[in-house]
Amino acid sequence: MYKSFQIIHDFIKEVYGFDFIKKPMDHKIAKIRELKNAYDTIMKINQVQRKPLPNEFVKYVYPLLEVSVQWAELKKKEFFKPFLEKCKQRVKTQSNFYGTIFEIDMASRCLLSNWDIKFVEDYTKEGKQIDFIFHKHDKVAGVECLSKRYAESSLTIDKINTDISAKAKKFRQKYIGKLGIPLDERLLIIDITTADYSSPKILEDLDRTRKSSKLDAVIFTWREDIIDGENHSLRVKYKIFGDIEEKYFSVAYAAEFHMTNKGPVFFMRKYVEPEPSCGKWGPEERIEDYRQKTSKNKT
């Protein structure tokens, strides 16, 4: 069993209570498209005993592996437990899947980039709440997250501007004042990752983004597949509207899929934005280095 499959299994077992590898797909789990796609692909790979090609991982397995790795890393920090418990309650419903996954993603990026994180739920239970408070040194930022992941077919700049206006209301003084923590920056971060990790088409229209006066910046972020022949590198990208430091989240995870003469190799590593040259990548954090063993009896 590949180690990456085990990481996914551990995440599904803890969050959904479902044995992802050894039992038939539960009908409730099957309603969540991302879980079903990953399950079907993993089962097909295991049953026919063939190598999983990078394209299959990118399209079906990686979205779930991405959050499984982040979850495992956040679990190592004691202060993330209350946040993760709330995620368990919300991620079980299909309607909250994307939003919760993005919050986990942002918490992971925050941790990698050496920001401290606080959860608004620790301060107030009344009224509209932003998602996080991040702080580093003397800077304190209030952060609200919005996921538009995989919504490209119906996504327009007008819809985005409507969402920005709605989300900005969470930064009204009557809500922020209850936190008792002055904010240096008020940020809305929007995930626009596409289903195939291609460059989002909406990028062409983002210059028409309307930033609310209640926000210091709107940050669009997405993961994009950088393809070189049969090799894939899934990296985090940003486009920022506002007067803030461009390298807000300086470190993230990149997934690497490389074809070698011994078979496909997959690993994830931390990397620093903006995209470094090959010689400047940080220490590799290998999840898995799998190679297909061939024999006359296998296809």
pLDDT by residue (tens digit) across 113-141? 888 888 876 555 556 789 999 998 888 99
Tell me what percent of the residues of the chain surpass a pLDDT of 90: 26
Alpha-carbon distance of 153 to 220, in angstroms, equals 17
Closest CA to 70 of 100, 46, 25: 100
- Residue 179 has a pLDDT of 84
CA dist., res. 55 & res. 61, Å (int): 10
pLDDT digits (tens, 9 = 90+) for 217-267: 999 999 998 888 878 888 888 899 998 876 677 788 888 888 777 767 777
Lowest mean pLDDT, pick from 4-13, 134-143, 201-210, 282-291:
282-291
Which amino acid, residue 107?
Answer: A
Q: How many residues does the chain have?
A: 299
Confidence tier at 166 by pLDDT (50, 70, 90):
very high
| pTM of the predicted structure, to 2 decimals | 0.83
Highest mean predicted confidence (pLDDT) among 73-77, 125-129, 250-254, 281-285:
73-77
Average pLDDT, the chain: 80
Task: List the chain domain ranges.
Answer: 3-285
Give the model's pLDDT for residue 295: 33
